[in-house]
Amino acid sequence: MTEKKRFVCVNCGHRVKELFKKYSNTMKATQCDKCHKITDKYIEFEEFIILIDALLLDSCAFRHIIYNGDFKVYWKVSLVVLLLESFALCRQKLPDPPSASLHVHEKGFYTYTLQNMGDYMFMTLLLLIITATLSIDWMQKIGFRSFTLIIFKVVLISNLSKFFLLPILVWRNNTTVFGRNLHHLLVMGHHLCSLVLAYEAVGATKKNLRWWALTLVVLAFAFKETARQFVSLVVEEHFT
């Protein structure tokens, strides 16, 4: 028996049955019964516009991508972001000295790619534990498979922030070490904000536990970054 797709209002997160009604050859967007706004304005938008709104930390865009949109294109975008982040990390740790051989950089790139994949999975696991602890009834209501998929989507969408690593790759030779470190710090800050807002947008926890849940998300992010730095040091010992 196939699972029925669950839609939500992108404005308030209220559960809805459909996003639009079809009349003859025209379609009309539905209105939310709770907030009385258009249920999902993004159904008529191009994916590129939705991605821009997500990068601008729009909660409506997060809800559309995670619940209402076709996530196939975002799997591909996530793969691009993964490769971009891996290359940026490799370049940060291995600044291409003239004596470095090509196979060292290639091996380091593959290693950092595996590291980032593990990073995604680890963050997903932490969020799963937090959500299951605070909202076990929500998990049971939607099912473990859907619950896990939603949390994984939150992690992938928050990683869209890594697109901002591209400028430092392009203009790396025209800045200082301090400038590069500052750029990476700003990207990390945007990534944390994106993670918190995306997690809040899916409505995984009850309102009276929301601030507690978001605090745990920040702590989980800090723990994940600490573990990431430790793994990076281990990797650096083998490729530097």
Q: What is the DSSP string of 56-72?
A: TT-HHHHHIIIIIS-TH
| pLDDT over threshold 70, residue 47 | yes
Is 118 domain-assigned?
A: yes
Which of 89, 76, 56 minimizes the C-alpha distance to 165? Answer: 89
> Is the residue at 223 inside a domain?
yes
In a domain, 202, yes or no: yes
Whether 170 is in a domain gets the answer: yes
Residue 24 has pLDDT above 80, yes or no: no
Instruction: Kindly state the helix (H) or strand (E) to which residue 220 belongs, with its residue range.
Output: helix 210-239
Q: What is residue 64's predicted lDDT score, i.e. its pLDDT?
A: 93
Of the ranges 104-118, 145-159, 218-232, the best mean pLDDT one: 145-159
Q: Is residue 9 part of a domain?
A: no
pLDDT of residue 237: 67
Amino acid identity for residue 232 in this structure: S
CA distances from residue 128 to 96, 133, 192 in whole angstroms, order as listed: 39, 8, 17
Tell me the HSE value of 35 on the side-chain side, using a 13 A CA sphere. Answer: 13
Tokens 């710090």 belong to 185
b/e sequence 177-210, b meaning 16+ C-beta within 10 Å? eeebeebbeebeebbbebbbbbbbbbbbbeeeee
CB atoms within 10 A of CB 93: 15
Q: Please check whether residue 103 lies inside any domain of the structure.
A: yes
For residue 113, how far is the Cα from the chain centroid? 16
Q: What is the mean pLDDT of residues 61-84?
A: 89
Residue 11 pLDDT more than 60?
A: yes
State the average pLDDT for the chain: 83
Q: What percent of the chain has pLDDT over 70?
A: 88
Domain that holds residue 219: 71-239
Q: In this predicted structure, what is the pLDDT of residue 209?
A: 67
Q: How many domains does the chain have?
A: 1
Report which residue type is found at 60. C
CA 215 and chain centroid, separation: 18
**Residue 151 covered by a domain:** yes
Task: Report yes or no on 90 lying in a domain.
Answer: yes
The pLDDT value recorded for residue 195 is 92
Mean pLDDT along residues 210-219: 83
Cα–Cα–Cα angle for 87, 89, 91, rounded to 5 degrees: 70
Task: Report how many helices (DSSP H) and strands (DSSP E) the chain contains, helices first.
Answer: 9, 4
pLDDT of residue 25: 72
pTM: 0.85
